């Protein structure tokens, strides 16, 4: 509605105030946004792991029998294989405790049962005969908080007769502190870049206008697979932890002062 139609209905002082506020509102709507400097920075933090998890497996198999005879299964052979497996598992845990590990540091996984199909070519007609056997497997994980004991524990595992050593996973006990440090370094890097750019452009940095994480700190435990059979490698001392990388990326925007506007 036009203002000249409103004026008779409004008190004079209120109408005058309304008219006075119009230029201010228009100025606010048309005021240019502040000049800003946007910077993206990346930080990569190298940390030395202080934890390790060793993965190993034990397994036993039932005797292979003709597939046509295995429809009902061989409960006795299965029970015997499971008994041998559990006996070896108990010996492995005892060996780990003898190596100085606490019982809580040793985790035995669930029993896995898997049929295996074989082909016997020893027949007279040279046609393969399908055979079947059952493999019972139990995985183990051993956690270490002292990496200096890694060779000793590897020797104990191989001495206990594990069928497979799947590798060593290196980790950090305090991940939060490390990821916080990576993020802090990324922000410091962003500030350094902004100050360098501002000095080169002969402008001054003002308030921070925006901050965002382009990539949150990423931490990934590193797996090192065993390079040879557990009983033949003999290379426990070659498993050095190395370092782990944590990456972080941020974007920060500053208001800048002293930049001349283009006419």
CATH of the domain at 177: 3.30.110.170
Note whether residue 91 is domain-resident: yes
Mean pLDDT of the chain: 81
Least confident piece of the model among 114-123, 160-169, 205-214, 239-248: 114-123
Tell me what pLDDT residue 216 has.
79
Looking at the 3D structure of the chain, how many domains does it have? 2
Domain range for 223 is 33-50+173-227+238-258
Angstrom distance (rounded) from CA 227 to CA 230: 9
Note whether residue 18 is domain-resident: no
Note whether residue 15 is domain-resident: no
Same domain, 152 and 253: no
Q: Would you tell me how many other CB atoms lie within 10 Å of the CB of residue 21?
A: 10
Selected residue with higher pLDDT from 71 and 105? 105
Tell me what pLDDT residue 56 has.
95
Tell me what pLDDT residue 121 has.
64
Tell me what pLDDT residue 262 has.
47
In 132-221, alpha helices (H): 150-159, 175-201
Same domain, 127 and 142: yes
For residue 13, name the pLDDT band (cuts at 50, 70, 90): low
Same domain, 156 and 204: no
Distances (CA, A) of 211 to 207, 215, 249: 11, 12, 11
Note whether residue 23 is domain-resident: no
Q: Which of 155, 135, 173 is nearest to 58 (CA)?
A: 135
Tell me what pLDDT residue 259 has.
66
Tell me what pLDDT residue 186 has.
96
Contacts of 257 (CB under 8 A, 6+ apart): 35, 203, 204, 205, 206
Angstrom distance (rounded) from CA 241 to CA 121: 47
> SS3 for 225?
coil
Phi then psi for residue 215, to 5 deg, are -145, 115
Same domain, 183 and 193: yes
Are 116 and 135 in contact, with CB atoms under 8 Å apart?
A: yes
Angstrom distance (rounded) from CA 248 to CA 151: 33
Claim: this prediction has a pTM higher than 0.85:
no
Note whether residue 247 is domain-resident: yes
Tell me what pLDDT residue 12 has.
54
pLDDT average, residue stretch 11-33: 54
Same domain, 198 and 101: no
Same domain, 167 and 177: no
pLDDT average, residue stretch 211-223: 83
**In CATH, what number is assigned to the domain containing residue 94?**
3.30.70
Q: Which structure tokens are listed for 209?
A: 């206008």
Least confident piece of the model among 87-101, 117-131, 155-169, 204-218: 117-131
Note whether residue 68 is domain-resident: yes
Tell me what pLDDT residue 227 has.
47
């Amino acid at each position: 509605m036009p203002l000249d139609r409103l004026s008779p209905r409004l008190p004079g002082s209120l109408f005058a105030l309304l008219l006075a506020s119009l230029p201010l509102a228009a100025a606010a709507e048309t005021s240019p946004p502040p000049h800003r400097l946007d910077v993206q920075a990346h930080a990569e933090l190298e940390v030395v792991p202080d934890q390790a998890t060793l993965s190993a497996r034990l397994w036993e198999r039932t005797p292979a029998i003709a597939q046509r005879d295995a429809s009902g299964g061989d409960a006795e052979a299965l029970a015997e294989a499971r008994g041998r497996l559990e006996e070896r598992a108990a010996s492995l845990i005892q060996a780990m405790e003898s190596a100085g590990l606490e019982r809580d540091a040793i985790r035995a996984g669930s029993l896995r049962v898997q049929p295996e199909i074989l082909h016997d070519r020893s027949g007279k007609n040279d046609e393969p005969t399908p055979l079947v056997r059952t493999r019972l497997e139990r995985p183990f994980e051993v956690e270490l908080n002292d990496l200096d004991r890694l060779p000793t524990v590897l020797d104990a595992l191989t001495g206990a007769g594990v069928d497979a050593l799947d590798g060593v996973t290196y980790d950090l006990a305090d991940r939060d502190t490390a990821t916080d440090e990576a993020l802090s370094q990324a922000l410091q890097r962003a500030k350094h870049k902004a100050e360098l750019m501002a000095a080169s452009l002969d402008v001054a940095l003002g308030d921070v206008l925006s901050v965002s994480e382009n990539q949150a700190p990423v931490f990934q435990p590193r797996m090192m697979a065993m390079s040879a059979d557990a009983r033949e490698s003999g290379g426990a001392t070659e498993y050095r932890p190395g370092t782990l990388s944590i990456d972080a990326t941020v974007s920060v925007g500053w208001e800048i002062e002293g930049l001349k506007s283009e006419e």
